[in-house]
Structure 1
Amino acid sequence: MRNWKPLPVLIGTISVLTVLYVAFYFLFLDFFVDLWWFRSLDFEAYFWLKFLYRFIFSGAVTVFFFAVFLFHFWIASRYLGFSASDEILIDDQKRRRFQRIADIFMNGSTKVYTPISLILAIVIAVPFYQQWEQALLFFFGSNSGITEPLYGNDVSFYMFQYPIYLLIQKELLVSAAVVLLGTSALYWAEHIVIPDQTQNLPLGAKIHLSILFSFVILFVVWGLLLERFGLLYQDNNQPVFFGPGFVELRYNLPLIWLAIAAALAILVTVIFYVFSVRHRSKAPTLIALISFVAALWLQHVRLVPDLIEKLVVKPNFSRIEANSMQNNINATLAAYDLTKIKTIDFKVDIDATKDIEAWSTKKHFENIPVWDREFLIDSYMQLQGIRPYYDFPAVDEDRYFINGHHQQVNLAAREINIDKLPKEAQNWENTHLRYTHGYGAVISPAAQDAGIPIVWYLRDLDMSSQVGFAVKYPDIYYGKGQYQYALVPNKLITEGISGTPAKDSLNYQGNSGIPINSYFRKLLLSSYLKDEKIFLSPNVTKDSRLLIRRNIKERVTRLTPFLHLDKDPYLVVTKDRFFWIQDAYTTSSFYPLSLPVSNDITADQQQFNYIRNPVKIVVDAYDGRVDYYISDDNDPIINAYQRAYPGVFKLLTDLPEELLQHLRYPRDFYHTQMDVYAKYHQNSPQLFYEQAETWQAPVVQNEAVLPYFITMDFNHCNDEEEFVLINPMTPVNRNNLSMVGLAGTMDESKCDHSYKPGITVFQFPKAVQVNGPSQVNALIDQNPEIAAQFTLWNQQGSEIKKGRMVILPMDNSILYVQPIYMLATQTKMPELARVIVSIGNQVVMEKTLQTAFDRLKDLFVKRANAPSSGVSSAEGK
């Protein structure tokens, strides 16, 4: 006891505890919380699979490269680097000195090159660790059945194997070069440090270095072979077409083969020079080296390719590059799933009287949406927010079977938003224990008459509905908002503390969330969230659960980061609870010969040249459960992930019918497809080269017209309404309409609302003028009666706003519908004031669509009776 020194022991104890705490906090805390969270969602097996894939793959790579470095350094220092002369072997003193120094290299240097090998292996393995999910596609991907035309490989080779081969080749080349330089330096050090060695390297060392040099050259050759495939992604011929053309295939490709032959010649001549005694010559190696450098250099010199372009290609471009353009067209259409588009030549009838009569009496004609969700959100907030802590982050569109038919509606979830509480009320208990969730939703028909209050299909906190909407669990714990963590159930709500919302904030009864059933978990979760109140609060019980990652996109991204998410998850109302449906995409930037695009489908806006919508994700708004359903089993990427993660993805037939009927063609996907199709619908080389029929999105008042949803009977399925996306397009730099595209999900062969996505394009004849949105907008602005009414309303303390123009193909006419909103100066709450309807050059403004159609019919009858009369218009009171 007399020798006990408390200060060193205390310092040592504190140091050990500090190291343990730091290691636990940074290495294990995230792991445990993620494990508990995945377990709460019934994804524990998937969690362990991800963990094993990541660390087994990166660990195996690290061990492999460590073994490579260690083996070569060890064998160079232990066996092959020493070549003592006969004189040293006879002289005992010199032999002992030689052996003593040699032992330093043979045994002592292990302490040096072992950690060096480990460091080098870790550095080499980092890129593999970062791309471990791409490696899953390498191992689990299968053939797509589509062959790339230039080299004859299946396109799955480029999407799955090629990126990994590029990575492996690069890392192996770097590793081989490092080993070659390291062992060469080791042999050189042995000859410098160890005295009395022979001047020449021993045969074993020569063989060793020759093998390493051979690996370096062979990896260079492999890289050149892979570079051939890189020509499939050349953009030198843009903006005409994407991919290799005459120059790349007749100039660059032969140079690559020349570089390969020169590299192999370098290998052969160097080996011959090293091991040959009588016929040594540096000339062959020098010639091979010059050839190799020249072949690489000429690929980056533009003089020769420019001359070929000028003298050979450009004088006869459409013939010489015809195959290249056709390859680009075919690949791009296949990569963006545009090969099955149904094209219909739309015959325009100048006299729209028959169409007006037929459509004005069409069943459920009132489905044409006149309420834009961009305007409706302000009305929802002011009329249905009800409490200060509720919010409507966005308004969705959908269709429901109401009053005997499918009717388009707008709907929004009433979500929690603590930021709207007074600052003094934004305390810890209110934020995490009391105001934990939203409640209910609002639904209103998208088609309504003007000049009357909004019609509600679902409203208020008592979930009042006159059309049959009823939800058993209307609480919304997961949604579009930026949610903080919640601790539910808890004593605050159970004991009815003053200020607690009543019916709209009942205690949580779900099974999701991380259980907080021990002080250990309390401590860990407090540390994870950096909030000691979780541990100290008496209101958190053993039955409480921690709800985290409650934003839909954050939740899904954390689960499956390899899926890209649509910007607009949408709400679905069932009799039991609310659900969110999130569309997900798979993308690749390695589809051969396909045009790359860049938009915000990928979070980092990286370019991709292949996209599919193979997954529909359903998120339970009450308990946060996430289910994945494969909607396109022809996508090779999602099939690879399904094989890698068995049990994660379900069949679409397993989706409940009440959710299946609300699947839709995703807006972001359709927008991307139409951006590509605007040019690539010209699917012959001659048309593609001329670019005379290229389309673009219409622009009205400096804003592009984006795809929008509409529910209408298009005479495809016996009076059944279809929920479709409509996308009009105009010729480049022109305002008249070229086409209207419809993207729907109904299987027209069955007409049972089963999910079968497809696109139909109505193309208009070039000889007939069909007004585009900006031209119709000009007709509206030029109408004196409508302009006078706008001026009158603007003078009454209101602001007039035009809504989204709906363009609808009728039987032989194009219908344009534009809502007009009146915004109160103080509240900015919009009111649907009028509806403008136009066909041909006729424009009318009325309170209802039916009245507008009746007036249009009268105008066309008058024009038929008096052909010389001008364009008529009218304004509704």
Structure 2
Amino acid sequence: MRNPRDVFRPRPPSRPRFSRRSKIIAGLILVLLLAAILSLRGTARMWTDYLWFDSLGHGDVWTEILVYRIILSVIFIVLFFLLLYSNLAIADRLAPQTRPPGPEEELLRHYHDAVGHRRRLVSVVLAVLFALIVGGGTGGEWQKAMLFFNSVDFGIEDPQFGYDIGFYVFRLPFIQFLISWVFRALIIVAVLTAIAHYVNGGIRVQTTGQRVTPQVKVHLSVLLALIALVRAVGYWFDRFGLNFSSRGPVDGASFTDINAQLPAINLLLLISVLSAVLLVINIWQRGWMLPVTAVGLWVIVAIVMGAIYPAIIQRFRAEPEESQKEAVYIERNIEATRHALGFDKNPGDDNTADNVTTIAFDPDTSITVEELAGNPSVRNIRLLDPDIVPNAFQVEQSERTFYTFNSEVDVDRYEIDGEITEVVIGARQLNVADVPQQSWEGRHIQYTHGYGVAVAPVNSVTTQGSPDFTVGDVPVVTSPDFELSRPQLYIGENLTGYAIVGATIPEVDYTEANETVPFVYDGEAGVDIGSFFRQTAFALRFGDINPLISGFVDSNSKIIFNRDLRLRVQNLAPFLELDADPYPVVSEGRVFYIVDAYTTSNRYPYGQTPDISDLPAGSGLRKDFNYVRNSVKVVVDAFHGTTTFYVIDPEDPIIQAWRKIFPGLFEDFDKMPLDLKNHLRYPEDLFRVQTSMWARYFIDDPETFYANSVTWAVAQDPGTRITARTFVDELTEAIAAEETATAAATRQLERRIRPFYQLLQLPGEDDLDFVIFRTFVPVSGSGDDEDERKELTAFIAAKSDVGENGDLGEYGQLVVYTVPGTSIPGPSIVDAKIQADTEIADAFTQLNQQGSTVLQGNLLMIPVGDSLLFVRPVYVQATGETELPQVKQVIAGVGNDDDFILRIRPTLDEALAALTDPGGLSVLPTQPTAPEPDAGEPAPAPTAVPSESEQGPIDDDTRRALSELISELRATQESIDQDRQALDGLIEELESLLDSPSG
């Protein structure tokens, strides 16, 4: 029998074996391919970036920035390479002919055997590698370099060292970068050089004889002396950094900084120079005693004089008499901060803020019909809350799911029927995520743009309580006051991706009656994409091959990208900070966006760093700064894509420097079209910063400033909405959450009332101004939980209107009205009175139908004549898919803390009439009317009462009958109030029984 092992079995095919060399070559090929792809994509991105800049007429900006980046990187790479390679070459030349035997030699012998005569190549490779690491990132300092070489004087000297502010803003940052880079580079070179000497045998740690050769000692001593000298230079410029110290009660060099820290820095400077001298002398000395002594002294002085001594001076000399010791430095801080934040454009010895006008205003506690009827502010009282009505815009004006409005509409003013009228405006933008065709063709060729705007006057609503749109719908419907011949929006807020226009198939303009209306773009936006190379470049940039292979793209096609307007502006001018709220403007038949841009610096001596916690998340001012100017208004054409930077503050030294660098990027303000000038707004982010700072910096006297006894605070935010609930609902929630009223109030501590835009006739002025407005209350204390002071102490307005001839006029002027005493309630007190008012509570109960929510709009304080009027619109929003908020009631109030009158009525006219005269039916000079509801729709309570001239005169008998009816209704209301009080007493008795001990 045969052995099974003898049976022939075919051998399986063997796998091909690759040699180690083949694997290495294959790996290198893959790495090279990956690097080539990444390099190609990076090159494509650079080229397409340039094409985008060039299409906007600013290719020189891209080129200038790139040149600075390359020059900086090349200079510092070459500098470090020469520095390191020369020292490595010296180390090789100083290597001993024979290396002493010992355990270290055994470790290094393998290295020398491998390197052999290739030591120079190793030095070159090491120098190139470290040069790329240390010098490659310096291109990111291009802004500091540009400002250094194009610096401008402020014409103001810092009070401590006597240098112009421009030295700190433009030159010092780049100088400190240079010193820091050289210091770090020398340390790296010294360490690598010491390692080279060790490898070459010039340094031996474990030998019993000479551990460092004399030549190596000379070499290292020179390097260490250079490091000490560079540090001495650093100490010299560190002195100027004291101007930004935060050690004292305010920012800037304090008593301790000047009398302790500055002498310590000077002493450390001298010790650094002494150390350098001792290191040079050590060349001719045996051992390392002198440099070790110098370094030890350096460390001791740095600890004792640099940290301990200033702390002692601060604790035992400054703090016990801080108000006196710091008075001169607080005065410096006040003057510097006022100029740096725009309160004082011309600082001088008078210590006044020339951009702020302060007026005493003692308001009456009542208001008359004549004051209401004759005041244009009343006609523009805002019934449409920008925080609430976006839902109405979305429901009534989005038209299709692929259109959307921002979560907050904007406030502006337009001429309507011959009168300047405040409006809310929102752009109907493209929602790429919801276009009906989600193919590449649908997202990038067919659905390419938004469509038009919706505009509604703030003082008028329809009979249902919805916005009364003057401009709206798709296709766009306008009034004679608006021309919108190019409603297409190719640029917008948060608009992502890219669009290809001029393709062989038309775009979708809009849909009407289930039919698609085509559109062929004929504007200026976009980059030509007709050639093969450009199509390839954009395919690489976006990681999408379709622009290259699609038959819809031809020689007439253009690609529009960077469509988000903030990204567009930031790419063109990355050195500007942007406001969080760009806003659309209808002008010249198109939609433009205006973006407020800021120049900032954190290098203004003695300037106070503002609290930025009040700023919205998207604000460019959420950063460390102590100088700011709204120097530029950027106008972006949503149809043509053009982006123009208009300089509104040519006196700003920072914008002067950038104009020297990029002269073709900026335009003078007088070149802005007058119609756009008429829609400028004082920026909200800047106003937030200024109001939070002026609350303390209105004080001139340093001692009063330090005492913080008369400081203001921005008024507490009463909130913008509540849900009306029954007493049982509130009681159930309170028991479940175990919260008291105090705990509920604590949640509001850090919320401050938001500024609001309003057309107002300010007290003492004849004209109607478009202003941004905010209120102040007295500061309660320094603790986070001290926020009980809520009475009105002042209010501030910043003017936004330019002159009639197009100059700045009064634009940017700040007007502060101080309110004497403590009797006028602030917004939070008025809000509390609203919540406690029984008439208003009954109205809320009636409005709170099943499935609906009652929302309270912003509480507005409006100066009217010699009085202060408080107005709040009340919305009802049905829960469901639409959630359409509608104005159903208006609350109006006036008075002081002890005698405050509140009224709630279906219309503003009725509420104001109830405030002044129970029998009065109209006080507004002209009440805007709204169209009737569509047939079949239920009409709720009317939202406008016709004026007396419209309904005819009221005879005496009718007036007497109305007065008797009102008296009867008031008697009924008093009876209801008595019943409510009896019910409250019964509830208290029941609660006391519930709290009694059980028996």
TM range (shorter): 0.7 to 0.9
Deviation at 1:797, TM superposition (A): 4.5
Aligned residue identity for 1:570: Y
Q: Which residue of 1 aligns with 2:759?
A: 711
1:583 deviates by 0.8
Contact 1:581 1:616 in 2 (8 A): yes
Aligned to 1:731: 778
Quote how far apart the aligned CAs of 1:742 are: 0.4
Pair 1:446 & 2:458 matched: yes
Contact 1:785 1:874 in 2 (8 A): no
Q: Is the 8 A contact 2:165 2:604 kept in 1?
A: yes
Normalising by structure 1, we get a TM-score of: 0.86
1:46 and 2:61 equivalent? yes
**CA distance, structure 2, for counterparts of residue 403 and residue 499 of structure 1:** 30
Corresponding residue number in structure 1 for 2:229: 218
Give distance in 2, aligned partners of 1:144 and 1:380. Answer: 47
Spell out the pairing of 1:602-751 with structure 2 (5 A cutoff): 605-699=622-716, 700-701=718-719, 702=748, 703-714=751-762, 718-719=766-767, 721-732=768-779, 733=787, 734-746=789-801
SS of 2:474's equivalent?
Answer: coil
Quote how far apart the aligned CAs of 1:388 are.
Answer: 2.3
Structure 2 letter corresponding to 1:325: I
Is 1:251 the counterpart of 2:260 in the alignment?
Answer: yes
Q: CA deviation at 1:43?
A: 1.6
Is 1:129 paired with 2:139? Answer: yes
1:167-182 superposed matches below 5 A: 167-182=177-192
Query: Is residue 2:82 matched to residue 1:70?
Result: no
CA deviation string 1:616-646 (max 9, x = no partner)? 1111111211111111122222222211112
CA, structure 1 residues 752+814, in 2 after alignment: closer, same or farther (shift >3 Å)?
Answer: farther
CA shift, 1:825, in A, is 3.1
The more displaced of 727-736 and 246-255 is: 246-255
C-alpha distance 663-649 of structure 1, shift in aligned 2 (>3 A) = same
Partner Cα separation in structure 1 for residue 599 and residue 811 of structure 2:
18
Given the alignment of the two structures, is residue 490 of structure 1 paired with residue 537 of structure 2, yes or no? no
Question: 2-side partners of 1:730 and 1:630: how far apart?
Answer: 35
**Other structure's SS at 2:646 match:** strand
Number of residue pairs matched?
Answer: 826
Structure 2 equivalent of residue 360 of structure 1:
373
Equivalent in the alignment of 2:539:
526
Match of 1:844 in 2: 903
1:824 equivalent among 878, 883, 902: 878
Q: Which position in structure 2 is the counterpart of 1:855?
A: 914
In the alignment, residue 128 of structure 1 is paired with which amino acid?
T
Q: Deviations over 1:564-614 (max 9, x none)?
A: 111111000013311111111122222222222445466594322222211
Matches within 5 A, 1:74-473: 74-75=89-90, 77-78=92-93, 108-184=118-194, 186=196, 192=202, 209-237=220-248, 240-275=249-284, 288-299=294-305, 301-302=307-308, 304-339=309-344, 340-353=354-367, 357-363=370-376, 365-393=378-406, 394-421=408-435, 425-448=437-460, 451-453=463-465, 454-473=467-486
In the other structure, the counterpart of 1:869 is: none
TM superposition shift of 1:227: 2.2
Distance between the aligned counterparts of 1:151 and 1:749, measured in 2? Answer: 45
Structure 2 distance, partners of 1:677, 1:13, is 64
Inter-partner Cα distance in structure 2 for 1:797 and 1:199: 93
Fraction of identical pairs, as percent: 28
Which residue of 2 is the match for residue 867 of structure 1?
none
Query: Take 2:972 and 2:894, find their aligned partners in 1: how far apart are those partners?
Result: 13
Check the 8 A contact 2:158/2:605 in 1, yes or no: yes
Worse-superposed segment, 267-276 or 430-439 = 267-276
Q: Is the 8 A contact 1:745 1:754 kept in 2?
A: no
Distance across 2 between alignment mates of 1:496 and 1:174: 59
Q: Which residue number corresponds to residue 3 of structure 1?
A: none
The residue type equivalent to 2:299 in the other structure is V
Contact 1:845–1:874 (CA under 8 A) maintained in structure 2: no
1:180 Cα offset (Å): 3.6
Q: Is the 8 A contact 2:803 2:809 kept in 1?
A: no
SS of equivalent to 1:839? strand
Q: 1:30, CA displacement in angstroms?
A: 0.9
2:835 to 781, 787, 800: 781
2:389 aligns to what SS in structure 1?
helix
Give per-residue Cα distances to partners, 1:1-29, cap 9 Å, x unaligned: xxxxxx99x98997798367425424311
Query: Structure 1 CA distance, aligned partners of 2:825 and 2:150?
Result: 51
The equivalent of 2:816 in structure 1 is 761
SS in 1 for 2:700: coil
What is the Cα deviation at residue 306 of structure 1? 4.8
Structure 2 unmatched runs, 5+: 1-21, 99-111, 345-353, 720-747, 780-786, 921-969, 974-999
C-alpha separation in 1, matches of 2:444 and 2:318: 69
Output the amino acid matched with 1:69.
Answer: L
1:736–1:112 Cα change, 3 Å: same
Partner of 1:27: 42
TM-score by length of 2: 0.76
From the superposition, tell whether residues 652 and 496 of structure 1 become closer, same or farther in structure 2 (CA, over 3 Å). closer
In structure 2, distance between residues paired with 1:874 and 1:611: 59
Aligned partner of residue 40 in structure 2, secondary structure: helix
What is the distance in 2 between the residues matched to 1:874 and 1:190?
106
767, 777, 793: which one aligns with 2:847: 793
In the superposition, relative to structure 1, how do residues 787 and 433 fare at CA in structure 2: closer, same or farther (>3 Å)?
A: same
RMSD (CA atoms): 3.6
Partner-residue secondary structure (3-state), 1:491: coil
Structure 1 window deviating more from structure 2 (697-706 vs 200-209): it is 200-209
CA deviations on 1:62-85 (whole Å, 9 max, x unpaired) are: 12222222333335545x67799x
Q: Is the 8 A contact 2:577 2:597 kept in 1?
A: yes
Q: Secondary structure at the match of 2:361?
A: coil
Question: Is 1:555 matched with 2:568?
Answer: yes
Checking the alignment, whether the CA contact within 8 Å between 1:352 and 1:813 is kept in structure 2 is yes
Tell whether the 8 Å contact from 1:359 to 1:365 is kept in structure 2 after alignment: yes
Higher mean displacement: 200-209 or 774-783? 200-209
Q: 1:540 to 1:26 in 2, by over 3 A?
A: closer
Provide, for residues 697-726 of structure 1, a one-character-per-residue CA deviation record: whole Å limited to 9, x for no partner.
32214353100100123367743x211100
